[in-house]
Structure 1
Amino acid sequence: MAAQPRTNSKKERRQENEKLILAAAEKVFSEAGFGGATMQLIADMAGLPKANLHYYFPTKESLYRQVVENIFQFWLQAADVFDDADDPAEGIGAYIDAKMEISRRHPSGSKVWATEVMHRAPVIQDYLETTLMEWTEGRAAIINRWIAEGRMDPVDPDHLLYMLWATTQHYADFSHQIETLNGGKPLDDAQWEAAKASIKRIILKGIGVTE
């Protein structure tokens, strides 16, 4: 009888372990901050030996940077709709939907980013000055084009982007407050959809766009 193929390759096991470590690191960093987090705490949360963490991420800083870069990559992907959209109703509306889903599914990653920036970005300042700067300038150019084409009211693109970030990320960064005001329960599917619809209606109407 022929031998059965192994169900878990070395590559698959590596991917699974990295996923466990990053999920645990997100939670620990969001609760303890960079200074309070330890590799042992993260290993315990992941249910893996501490040596495994050092195999995949040699230092706490390298693991922290990966957590921060992951959430930012999610946000970058959410903004792809700007590049392909024909108008602000489509582009900004889809961006709000995508950012709200990220806040729903990755609240800890968003909290890590917020805490890092509130402490003047001691670990990722270089990231803010390069990747974030370039991304913001690119999206601002698209918004300015829509304004020039008369598709939306003339507004400052930077302040519009800040408002979009603040509004959508609030649902992750202040999730405990929202749950408290929601009777101590997380928002359910219908409430998330209602929140998306409200945000889109308020922001798009505020910049002179109809859905």
Structure 2
Amino acid sequence: MRVLVIEDEHTLQGQLVKALTAQGYAVDTADNGEDGHYMGETEPYDVVVLDLGLPVLDGLTVLKRWRAAGLATPVLILTARSSWQEKVDGIDAGADDYLAKPFRMEELLARVRALIRRASGHASSELICGPIRLDTRSSSVSVDGIPLSLTSHEYRLLAYLMHHQGKVVSRTELTEHLYAQDFDRDSNTIEVFIGRLRRKLGVDVIHTVRGLGYRMEMRGDTPQDPT
């Protein structure tokens, strides 16, 4: 899962990156509205954390331009505590949620998780596929109640597939949501991670759809493509 943080206050930006990375997200950053607007339009993100008080191009303008262009990525705006009008303007411009500064990092992480869940049609913070349970709050995975140890890349890959259960996800899409912008991306490594996940899970839930990508679901849930 991939997050874009657009925040010009470098100390806060660093804190956000540290907290989001610790939760298993790939994180990109921008410290002005112009760069953030470009990144949001040209790169696929699962959620954007957008400060409204940005240099060069303010956050509200960035948000309005995204929505006018049809960009539906969930956006959490950060506002000044005393500015209720900013909250109203942000929501009217197309924001999905807002958080007033100063805030608790735990609350921001919870709101990010909720936005990602809602965007993929999930109501619970715990994602389940057969005996596999992924808790987005603790970034933990278990199979038949037994905790599973995964690397950060394996966890991101599994989380993305579980958020999109029943849907075919291409290798390109997985690559775009697995790595941050400055990472040397190679879609061929997805096959390696898929193989590792299959061995660690020990359950036949990640299916190859020839020529298209991968789909996660228990056999018998819906008709399957040949694997």
Fold shared by both chains (TM-score > 0.5)? no
Give the structure with higher Rg (CA).
Answer: 1
**Normalising by the residue count of structure 2, what TM-score does the alignment of the two structures yield?**
0.24
The higher-RCO structure (CA 8 Å, 6+ apart) is 1
Larger strand share, 1 or 2 = 2
Larger helix share, 1 or 2 = 1
